[in-house]
Copies of this chain bind each other. A is one copy, B any other.
Amino acid sequence: MKFNEVLENVSIYEAGKPIELVVREYGVKPENVIKLASNENPYGTSPKVIAKIQEIAKNMFVYPDDSMFELKEALAKKFEVESENVIIGSGSDQIIEFCIHAKCQKGSKILMAKTTFAMYEIYGKQAGATIIKTDSEQHNLEEFSKLYKEHGADVIFLCIPNNPLGECVDKDDVYAFLQTVSPETLIVVDGAYQEYASFKDEKKRIVPKDLMTKFPNAIYLGTFSKAYALGGMRVGYGIAQADIIQTLYKLRAPFNITTLTLAAAIEALKDEDFVKSCIAKNFEEMTRYEEYATKKGFEYIPSYTNFITIKMGDKFVSKVVAQKLLERGVIVRDLTGYGQNAIRITIGRNEQNTKVFEQLDEVLENLK
């Protein structure tokens, strides 16, 4: 059967490997697997959220409230905007998809950094758009500006801070660039890790209300998958002017969020203390990775997130290192697919990180 031509160029996103796979394929006991590949919050979900879900599990047979009234109100309150400025997606991923399909068709142009979140390109190609990337691996706003002047763009993606590299551009520099962008271009500011970046350095903070007020053609994306510890529940949000939100809603399928997910997100927003304590611990533990990399002579990218990208240099091949760790039950992310000889490791809990260093010591020793 013949399918749409655009699909011929679409590749399938490679997700971080699940614990079950390591158990199945390498016989590691589930309790010994350390999964630091998908930037989950290693401290687990807030106990208050878990208790809520246990209480309402009996409601699984009921379709979700498709208006998402309560969650939208809670987000609007948190970000000091109106409900009409909020859209909820099955992860912020889904809102990326809506943004692209709202603006792009065959021949449309999407501008992004060379090495950034893979889904921008995958969704872009699904819509038949042309992908324009900067030359530098990390976000370089001068290059963005130059390419934008040369080619224009229907959509621009800025990942602040950036995944999978971890770097973060300053808010002031972002705003200076955005002032040169046409109001007809949709600007997507992906803030999946903003809670981490703004904790580490106030200069990195993007405030959604401020962004959409100054740039009515911009949308801010946030997620519950990282700091809010609900990676398994698939829920993120977009904040923008109502005309953008209304259009994106046309692309949303009904019931895109589960009944339990809505309840979990609402409850998670009530426990900000938990989130803050996780972020503080994240950066304490991150210094251990920086010290480890330095000791081993590896370069790393200073990170504003809950992961760190360590370059393997010319002595090791990241794909091999990641595979050897996997066989030992430590799941990290090889960045070969992103054109990097590097591994990306989620910053785990103290005892997990200690084990990672031990295992990595042995793997590197064996590969010498």
Closest 9 interchain pairs by CB?
A: A232-B259, A15-B66, A18-B65, A61-B229, A53-B57, A45-B60, A54-B54, A63-B231, A10-B250
Residue-wise, chain A 8-39 has the 8 Å CB interface mask toward B (1 for contact) of 00101101101111001000000000010010
Residue-wise, chain A 195-217 has the 8 Å CB interface mask toward B (1 for contact) of 00000000000000000000001
Which stretch of A96-104, A132-140, A143-151, A166-174 is in the interface?
A96-104
B244 touches A258 (CB 8 A): no
Q: How far is A146 from B49 in the complex, measured between Cα atoms in Å?
A: 55
Could you list which residues of chain A lie within 8 angstroms of chain B, going by C-beta atoms? 1-4, 7, 10, 12-13, 15-16, 18-21, 24, 35, 38, 40-41, 43-45, 49-50, 53-54, 57-67, 69-70, 90-91, 93-94, 97, 101-105, 119, 123, 126, 183-184, 186, 217, 225, 229-234, 243-244, 247, 249-251, 253-261, 264
Nearest CB of chain B from residue A35's CB, rounded to whole Å: 7
Among residues of B, the one whose C-beta sits closest to the C-beta of A64 is B232
Nearest CB of chain B from residue A63's CB, rounded to whole Å: 5
Among residues of B, the one whose C-beta sits closest to the C-beta of A44 is B61
- B residues less than 8 Å from A69 (CB atoms): 20-21, 24
Enumerate 13 A-B pairs (CB-CB under 8 Å) in ascending A order.
A19-B65, A40-B61, A50-B57, A50-B58, A53-B54, A60-B231, A62-B231, A63-B232, A93-B255, A101-B126, A119-B253, A123-B253, A258-B260
B44 touches A4 (CB 8 A): no
- B residues less than 8 Å from A90 (CB atoms): 90, 253, 255-256
B2 touches A184 (CB 8 A): yes
Q: Of residues A3, A10, A50, A105, which shows the largest number of chain B Cβ atoms within 10 Å of its Cβ?
A: A3
Q: Which of B41, B57, B97, B101 contacts A54 (CB 8 A)?
A: B57
A40 touches B62 (CB 8 A): yes
Q: How far is A64 from B17 in the complex, measured between Cα atoms in Å?
A: 10
Nearest CB of chain B from residue A25's CB, rounded to whole Å: 11
Among residues of B, the one whose C-beta sits closest to the C-beta of A256 is B90
B15 touches A44 (CB 8 A): no
Contacts A61-B231, A67-B21, A260-B232; A15 near B105 (Cβ below 8 A): no
Q: How far is A19 from B135 in the complex, measured between Cα atoms in Å?
A: 53
Among residues of B, the one whose C-beta sits closest to the C-beta of A57 is B53
Nearest CB of chain B from residue A68's CB, rounded to whole Å: 10
Nearest CB of chain B from residue A6's CB, rounded to whole Å: 8
Nearest CB of chain B from residue A227's CB, rounded to whole Å: 11
Among residues of B, the one whose C-beta sits closest to the C-beta of A42 is B61
Q: How far is A255 from B183 in the complex, measured between Cα atoms in Å?
A: 33
- B residues less than 8 Å from A254 (CB atoms): 13, 15, 93, 119
Contacts A54-B54, A119-B253; A232 near B21 (Cβ below 8 A): no
A230 touches B61 (CB 8 A): yes
Among residues of B, the one whose C-beta sits closest to the C-beta of A91 is B255
Nearest CB of chain B from residue A39's CB, rounded to whole Å: 9
B249 touches A12 (CB 8 A): yes
Q: How far is A38 from B259 in the complex, measured between Cα atoms in Å?
A: 14
Q: How far is A316 from B253 in the complex, measured between Cα atoms in Å?
A: 32
- B residues less than 8 Å from A10 (CB atoms): 250-251
A61 touches B251 (CB 8 A): no
